[in-house]
């Protein structure tokens, strides 16, 4: 079951549940800290999602621990200097499509201190563990028992402490590993850099890109033209950037799709960049749109601690301490493995 937010993105029972669990545990461990999170408990009542829940008041109170900001996203003046920022399911459309359709999503948690993210966690249940594995869709015969070594990652980073990839569940066969972005002085050059971009959706019967996909959970059609890629780049600027970086003859296919790209939903992109699975990411929303901090805070720590770089489109550092939204001066966000790659991305 899902409801729709004002920005046309869906919210599910999973969003509410994850937010309640995470915030309740954090509040118990850090009672003087503040929280910023996506979901509003009142939406559960409006969506009639409360059937069978015994202690609804306790659930709603846990969810609303994250409501320390005004309706416009500005700071309500009630937060401490330590604020935990949570997107309980970042990439809800990927979550709704599910594992068989390659949906990628993550639980994104960050600690922001005096406007700077200092801890970042991305829990990515559907992401392959190996950097070069692009099998985002589960095979028909794949199960949680058979893929324990090959799928499911947690990216963890702390300011000054590095970034690491851990298995989703304790697993003696899968080692934790320290993460490093693609070397800026290695064999790969900006001309060969891979973008991490939103997922295109294909109608298997028509063998073509489609605008809608049917969600079996909500029993409704999702307009994927309003999904990650179209929302992040409504003016189509990424294609032009790819032509500048890769060359006009090597950048796009006949349908204008970027060739050197890895496609997935959500903040998972930051994790993929941090382990060297891509080099470039750009989020270029419509003019006037203000970014929510939960869409970038956790990922920014992970990639920067892996050696990468995150700035706005003007090359400035990003202030995450203004409330639930970033400054109006942030017209877009760029992330890369740093060095000449970031310089070329800024120039493009």
Catalytic residue positions, numbered: 15, 92
Q: Is the dihedral of CA 154, 160, 161, 164 positive or negative?
A: positive
| Greatest C-alpha distance within the chain | 61
Cβ atoms of residues 58 and 31 within 8 Å: no
Cβ atoms of residues 37 and 66 within 8 Å: yes
Structural Rg of the chain based on CA atoms: 19
Q: Return the DSSP state at 103.
A: -
Give, rounded to a whole angstrom, the gap between the first and last alpha carbons of the chain: 41
Rounded to 10 deg, the angle between the 56-63 and 13-29 helix axes is 80
- Cα separations (Å) of 27 from 34, 61, 278? 8, 11, 36
Cβ atoms of residues 151 and 177 within 8 Å: no
The three-class DSSP label of residue 73 is coil
∠ CA 50-51-57 to the nearest 5 degrees? Answer: 40
């Amino acid at each position: 079951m899902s409801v729709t937010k004002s920005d046309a993105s869906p919210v599910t029972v999973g969003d509410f549940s994850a937010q309640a669990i995470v915030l309740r545990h954090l509040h118990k461990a850090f009672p003087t800290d503040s929280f910023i999170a996506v979901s509003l408990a009142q939406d559960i009542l409006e969506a009639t999602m409360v059937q069978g829940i015994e202690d609804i008041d306790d659930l709603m109170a846990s969810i609303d621990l994250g409501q320390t900001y005004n309706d416009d996203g500005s700071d309500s003046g009630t937060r401490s200097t330590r604020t935990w920022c949570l997107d309980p399911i970042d990439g809800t459309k990927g979550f709704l499509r599910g594992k068989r359709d390659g949906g990628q999503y993550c639980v994104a948690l960050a600690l922001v201190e005096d406007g700077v993210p200092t801890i970042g966690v991305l829990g990515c249940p559907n992401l392959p563990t190996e950097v070069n594995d692009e099998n985002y869709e589960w095979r028909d015969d794949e199960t949680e028992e058979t893929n324990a070594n090959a799928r499911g990652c947690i990216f963890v980073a702390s300011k000054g402490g590095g970034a690491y990839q851990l298995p989703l569940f304790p697993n003696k066969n899968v080692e934790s590993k320290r993460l490093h972005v693609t070397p800026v002085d290695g064999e790969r050059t900006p001309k060969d850099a891979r973008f991490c971009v939103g997922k295109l959706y294909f109608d298997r019967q028509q063998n073509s890109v489609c605008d809608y996909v049917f969600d079996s959970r909500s029993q409704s059609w999702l307009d994927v033209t309003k999904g990650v890629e179209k929302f992040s780049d409504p003016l189509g600027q990424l294609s032009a950037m790819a032509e500048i970086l890769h060359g006009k003859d090597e950048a796009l296919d006949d349908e204008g799709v970027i060739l050197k790209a890895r496609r997935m939903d959500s903040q998972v992109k930051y994790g993929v960049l941090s382990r060297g699975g891509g080099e470039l990411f750009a989020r270029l929303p419509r003019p006037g749109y203000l970014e929510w901090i939960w869409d970038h805070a956790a990922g920014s720590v992970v990639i920067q601690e892996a050696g990468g770089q995150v700035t706005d489109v003007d090359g400035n550092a990003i202030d995450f301490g203004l409330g639930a939204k970033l400054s109006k001066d942030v017209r877009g966000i760029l992330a890369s493995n740093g060095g000449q790659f970031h310089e070329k991305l800024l120039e493009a």
